[in-house]
Structures are given as structure tokens and as C-alpha cells.
């Protein structure tokens, strides 16, 4: 019954979010952030549960903070050593924190938080939803960040998240995407290529469009498209390269009857062929009563035993019935 009630609350939350929540004011300046994290159970009605599909539970957090801007987290990056994380918000904010572990190397908490607001091309802080709807980011080889925005579809490169960005020419189809269905999944490969996938833009039934950006002179990219196969209701919201070179994605679905569901997917990088179609395999499907919310960010690292770790973060839409959750899984061999 508790799981059912929680699902109903989540449906109400997401429905009101789709109708439009009032965004908080922009962060005035970078500042310290006190993150209050409590344990997120993996399965509400079965505390001993530890596995789902090919995922092994390594801990979860429900997060709040002493800032009205804390929320809406749309993508995630975790440092290779697993010690720090960075996330961006669809209201144009960002936060960083140090990751804490328990004695078994499971996720235990966050400390040393900081929060700030992205700048626009004029050097001023982004203050509107239309300009600040950051949905994806990729860490480039030089340490800078490539950020994808929707509504006003564009790519901006930030030397640091507190710096003034420079525009990057995106794929030719970038402006054809639906206003609220732009690039949500983006990552960088080891060779510097940027891979991006649209949430909703499609020219072939049963797929959405993705792009391979090959670096060229002057910080530009040569973009060539591919297709990413989808199933009904599910659309890609995040992507990260795994330590073995393959890629993981999150696919999300929502409707009033069933609430939110997410698929954690994986595909080999060899499928990334211009004009080709990527067909990812399902690793696990997160639905209530398992830990799930509006998951929009994913990152991958190696654990202390050499295991592959997957990190997932949710966008609460600044809606009191949703949560900012951070989940950690080990990928079973």
C-alpha cells in the first residue's frame, strides 16, 4: 500500500510539473552548500533486495539542501577516482560535492558542497528558464564542459562552470528539435568525439536522432547523424561512456496510469556509425517499488575492486512530491 500511495503521489507531482512549476530565482553568486542526505532504500517493501537485472545496489541518497536552487538536476559527472561529482540543473544552476563512502565502499553521503549559476555569452548570470534549460553536459579532454540546452537549442563550452561560455556550432538539425525534447543525452569518448542524442527529434519511426561530433580546427565539430532505436513510451535522457568503452543510457517513460519508469541501457561503441542505428540492450528496468524518480543524469567510474559503477541522479522539477535522489549501482559481470 505504501508503494502504491507513493506512486500516486509521484504521478500527481509529475503531472503538476508538466503543467509548469514556478522556478526559483537564479543563484546570485557561487556559494557553499549544505547538502542534507538521507538513505534511499533500494526496494521499499523488501529491505534485503540488492539486485535488479544486471545491477547490484551500492547505495542511494535522498538529497535536500539549504538553497532554493537545489533541484532540477539534469546531468551528472563523477571524477574517475569517484571522489567528487558535478551536476547541472534545468534552471541553469550547477553544484559540486565530495562523495563519501561507508566501510564497504558503498555510497554514504556528500560533503563540501558548492552551488552556482551558469553565465550567458554576455557574462551575466542566466536568469530565465528559456535561456537556462541545461539538459546535458560532457567533460571535454581539456577539462572544459560542453553544455546542451533545450527550448533555445544550442551548445555552449565553459572553461569552468563559473566562466563565461563560448558558443559551439551544433548539428544542422539542432534547431528542428521539439522545444522541450532536445539533446538530453551527451558524453565524450576517449578520442574526443562528442556523442549526443535527442530526446524526441525523429525522422525514422521507432528511433530518435543522435549525432557524432568529430573535433576539427578552431574548436569546431564535424557532425554526422545516426539513429537510436526506442520502444514505445521510453525516450533517452542521459548517456555516459563506461570504463570498457561501451556506453550506458537512461531511457525514461511517464504516464498518468503507471507513473515514472526508467530503463538502464548499454550498447557497444562500435554501433556508432554515421547513418546506422544503435540498438541498446536493457540492463535493468526501475519501477516502483524500486528506487526511481525522474532520472536524467548518469555517470560511470571504476570502483576499488576494478568493478564498473553506475551513478544516477534525478530531476525533481522543484515539485514537493518528487525527490532529488542519487543512486549507485555496480554492473554485474
Section 75-90 average pLDDT: 98
Decide: helix, strand or coil at residue 3.
helix
pLDDT bracket for residue 139 (50, 70, 90): very high
Q: What does the block give as the cell for 76?
A: 551528472
Contact 11, 256 (CB under 8 A): yes
Please confirm whether the linkage preceding 289 is cis (ω < 30° from 0): yes
pLDDT greater than 50 at residue 10: no
Q: Alpha helices of the chain — where are they, by DSSP H?
A: 2-19, 129-132
pLDDT over 90, % of the chain: 87
CATH code of the domain in which 288 resides: 2.120.10
- Looking at the 3D structure of the chain, how many domains does it have? 1
Tell me which H or E stretch contains 285. strand 281-286
pLDDT at residue 15 in the model: 46
> Where in the sequence is the domain holding 229, given as residue range(s)?
2-331
- Strand duo 221-229 + 277-278: pairing: parallel
- Cα(208)–Cα(295) distance, integer angstroms: 19
pLDDT at residue 28 in the model: 65
Farthest-apart Cα atoms in the chain, separation: 59
Residue labelled with grid coordinates 532520472: 295
pLDDT bracket for residue 19 (50, 70, 90): very low
pLDDT tens string 199-211: 999 999 999 999 9
Contact 278, 249 (CB under 8 A): no
Amino acid at each position: 500500500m505504501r508503494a502504491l500511495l507513493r506512486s500516486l503521489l509521484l504521478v500527481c507531482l509529475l503531472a503538476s510539473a508538466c503543467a509548469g512549476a514556478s522556478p526559483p530565482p537564479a543563484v546570485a553568486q557561487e556559494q557553499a552548500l549544505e547538502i542534507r542526505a538521507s538513505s534511499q532504500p533500494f526496494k521499499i517493501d523488501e529491505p534485503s533486495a540488492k539486485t535488479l537485472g544486471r545491477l547490484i545496489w551500492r547505495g542511494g541518497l535522498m538529497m535536500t539542501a539549504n538553497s532554493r536552487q537545489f533541484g532540477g538536476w539534469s546531468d551528472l559527472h563523477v571524477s574517475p577516482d569517484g571522489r567528487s561529482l558535478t551536476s547541472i540543473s534545468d534552471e541553469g544552476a550547477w553544484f559540486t560535492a565530495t562523495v563519501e563512502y561507508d566501510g564497504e565502499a558503498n555510497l554514504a553521503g556528500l560533503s563540501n558542497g558548492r552551488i552556482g549559476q551558469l553565465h550567458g555569452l554576455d557574462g551575466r548570470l542566466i536568469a530565465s528558464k528559456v535561456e537556462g534549460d541545461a539538459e546535458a553536459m560532457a567533460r571535454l579532454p581539456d577539462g572544459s564542459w560542453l553544455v546542451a540546452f533545450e527550448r533555445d537549442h544550442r551548445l555552449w563550452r565553459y572553461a569552468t562552470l563559473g566562466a563565461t561560455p563560448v558558443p559551439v556550432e551544433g548539428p544542422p538539425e539542432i534547431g528542428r528539435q521539439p522545444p522541450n525534447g532536445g539533446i538530453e543525452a551527451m558524453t565524450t569518448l576517449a578520442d574526443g568525439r562528442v556523442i549526443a542524442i535527442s530526446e524526441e527529434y525523429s525522422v525514422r519511426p521507432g528511433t530518435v536522432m543522435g549525432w557524432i561530433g568529430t573535433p576539427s580546427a578552431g574548436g569546431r565539430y564535424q557532425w554526422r547523424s545516426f539513429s537510436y532505436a526506442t520502444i514505445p513510451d521510453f525516450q533517452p535522457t542521459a548517456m555516459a561512456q563506461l570504463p570498457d568503452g561501451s556506453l550506458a543510457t537512461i531511457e525514461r517513460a511517464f504516464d498518468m496510469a503507471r507513473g515514472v519508469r526508467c530503463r538502464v541501457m548499454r550498447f557497444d561503441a562500435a554501433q556508432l556509425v554515421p547513418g546506422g542505428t544503435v540498438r541498446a540492450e536493457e540492463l535493468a528496468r526501475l519501477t516502483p517499488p524500486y528506487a526511481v524518480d525522474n532520472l536524467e543524469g548518469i555517470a560511470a567510474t571504476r570502483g576499488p575492486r576494478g568493478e564498473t559503477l553506475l551513478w544516477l541522479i534525478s530531476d525533481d522539477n522543484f515539485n514537493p512530491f518528487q525527490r532529488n535522489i542519487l543512486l549507485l549501482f555496480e554492473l554485474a559481470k
